[in-house]
Chain A
């Protein structure tokens, strides 16, 4: 009898535990891009393995940034996992707003994460967000137009070559622009591009004493070169073009070259959407011979807000979503070209993935970016196309607006740089630097 009661009690406890596990639901805030949407479609696999359900809150990148920032600073507790980038992670990690990911399981193989990604998502040596996918930037060019221009794109071109090639590929009569680049205001749009480009020209945002350096010759050269090249060979209205506008132009065959995020490679080589899918080549982002290239480094990563009541379940999800087996799951369902790139070393050692045309150049681009030493001269900040300080997003948005006004011809390059210098100096002083 006693055995029966014990058995019954045990069974009840097991049922309750199972019911509890079934009932656990994670709320995850994420961005709307191809890789994240694909992950949403595959979460049944995670639920089947763990019994944990997932609810998604998908938002546009800027809305998401505002939404999760509000929630984490007020300890709102609305999200168990947040999708954040390389910019937020070290700042939030430093503030103690994120759960450290220093106890992930041995199967997860933290050492397999690309060092540049793990480094950019850590603060003081502790990983605070696990990279879901990573990206750098590179040159995507039309092989047919390059051949027609009588040129051969080197694997590692210089800015002077790019400018010359852009001029030769430009065919205004047929609406072909030699080069398409981001000019749109916004720290994550044109601001990111010009900052990464300035690194290759020897410029930097701040000197070792946090003084802005827009009054330097290097910044003057960067902006003058960019505007000169784009006025010669860029599309009309380039000052308002961002990633999507340039993607649209490139896919319609209106750009000879496009320097932008490596994730764009899968879009421009997809024959369903791109009219030039069969004529796209890749090269490293250009340099100026100073030892730094003009490519950036970014990762969308999953992090757990401090104070979350579902840390264990959240860690389980993060391990699943950023694991090697998840990559294999995507490959089996959607093909190797669609797996989330740029996060794990093992992916680039996989012979199947090596067959993807843009795989090698993506890895080389990621490996050539160093968020800890992004510039020719030393800087006090971390980050390639940004400085990982809370004030940067606001300042860089204002600065990029001044630059965009210069691209549009509303002011000169010198006027834009003078205004950038002043507004940055004022903001940094007000922030106590």
Chain B
């Protein structure tokens, strides 16, 4: 039986949820506000919250200095490409682990996850040398491959978890009706797992979009995504916080908007199977 929630409790819970939400969102809000300040106002103490001379000067400077659209396009290709490639590889892998597990499946899953525990810098030199040999340095395809590989364990794990919630009998029935393996995965399993696949894609696009180790270390002038764009405005010798904030706002805006519009699917997917 569901627990009764009093109006007072509901109000408190709502206020608490808003407070937590605002605390989490505050750094982003502050970055956005700072992007509209002068450099002097950006470092003012006590900090100026809303009452300052609003200016678009930082955006104009950033726009003039950097080719934002090139960085944005690189981010879209790298984040989108690595995620889609990862899903194409992970769906069959997760299917086999969920529906035809072997006695080593659990070990393989754990091993895959353990690769995420290695600090990335530990393999920087081997990967860099391989990229030199293969001519992949400063290319979008190179980053698509690397980001796909580093996010693959997460994609497989997420899809595996969603697939486990789908009754195997349905797939069995499809096979009884003569469905091939391809048809079974494409026309039976995938439609049922759409919320899970959608949230996996969204989460991995966000992870790939924000990835800042490989995207900085394997790019130069051509394939750098928005992480490289932000890094070009950070300086330990000079106060350029307002310009840095403008660059950051421009870099996070697309993913923020995407997250805003797809939050329903994201939450639905992440809580998929949580309540039986």
Contact = CB atoms under 8 A, between A and B. Distances in A.
A282 to B, nearest CB: 18
Contact of B221 (A55, A66, A75, A254): A55
23 contacts: A32-B238, A41-B65, A57-B228, A59-B228, A59-B232, A60-B232, A61-B235, A61-B236, A61-B237, A63-B216, A70-B128, A74-B128, A76-B132, A79-B220, A243-B236, A244-B237, A244-B239, A248-B43, A248-B45, A248-B239, A254-B45, A263-B237, A267-B238
Given A252-B44, A252-B45, A272-B40, A58 B232 contact: yes
A67 B217 contact: yes
Given A57-B224, A76-B132, A252-B43, A31 B235 contact: yes
Contacts of B236: 60-62, 188-189, 242-244
Nearest to B224: A57
B39 interface: yes
B212 to A, nearest CB: 9
Contact of B238 (A33, A188, A252): A33
A67 B124 CA distance: 11
B220 A29 contact: yes
Interface string A32-71: 1110010011000000000000011111111100110010
Nearest to A275: B40
Contacts of A412: none
A251 interface: yes
Contacts of A369: none
Interface string B203-238: 000000000000011001110100010011111111
A189 B38 CA distance: 26
A335 to B, nearest CB: 18
Interface of B: 38-40, 43-45, 65, 124-125, 128-129, 132, 137-138, 216-217, 220-222, 224, 228, 231-240
Given A32-B233, A59-B231, A67-B217, A74 B240 contact: no
The B contact surface, by secondary structure, is loop
A284 interface: no
Interface string A148-189: 000000000000000000000000000000000000000011
The A contact surface, by secondary structure, is mixed
A247 B239 contact: yes
A248 B220 CA distance: 32
A263 B233 CA distance: 18
A67 B216 contact: yes
A33 B132 contact: no
A31 B238 CA distance: 11
B217 A37 contact: no
B240 to A, nearest CB: 7
Nearest to A26: B221
A140 to B, nearest CB: 14
A34 B238 contact: yes
Interface residues of A, number: 43
A78 B65 contact: no
A37 B232 CA distance: 10
A74 B43 contact: no
A74 B224 contact: no
Interface string A345-383: 000000000000000000000000000000000000000
B202 to A, nearest CB: 28
A261 interface: yes
Interface pairs A-B: 10 shortest CB-CB: A55-B221, A58-B232, A60-B234, A78-B220, A32-B235, A248-B43, A27-B221, A273-B40, A57-B220, A61-B236
A58 B222 CA distance: 12
Nearest to A36: B235
A74 B232 contact: no
Contacts of B234: 32, 60, 63
B65 A37 contact: yes
Contacts of B239: 244, 247-248, 251, 267, 273
B238 A75 contact: no
Contacts of B39: 272-273
A4 to B, nearest CB: 43
Contacts of A60: 231-232, 234-236
A70 B238 contact: no
Given A37-B65, A74-B132, A57 B221 contact: yes
A27 B44 CA distance: 37
A308 B71 CA distance: 26
Contacts of A33: 235, 237-238
B65 A244 contact: no
A76 B221 CA distance: 14
Contacts of B45: 248, 252, 254
A273 B238 CA distance: 11
A248 B65 CA distance: 24
Contacts of B129: 74
A80 B266 CA distance: 44
A243 B237 CA distance: 6
Contacts of B237: 33, 61, 243-244, 261, 263
Contacts of A74: 125, 128-129, 132
A78 B217 contact: no
A32 B232 contact: yes
Interface string A73-104: 01111110000000000000000000000000
A60 B216 CA distance: 11
Nearest to B238: A33
Contacts of A248: 43, 45, 239
Contacts of B40: 251, 272-273, 275
A356 to B, nearest CB: 18
Nearest to A56: B221
Nearest to B221: A55
Contacts of A252: 43-45
Interface in A260-317: 261, 263, 267, 272-273, 275
B131 to A, nearest CB: 8
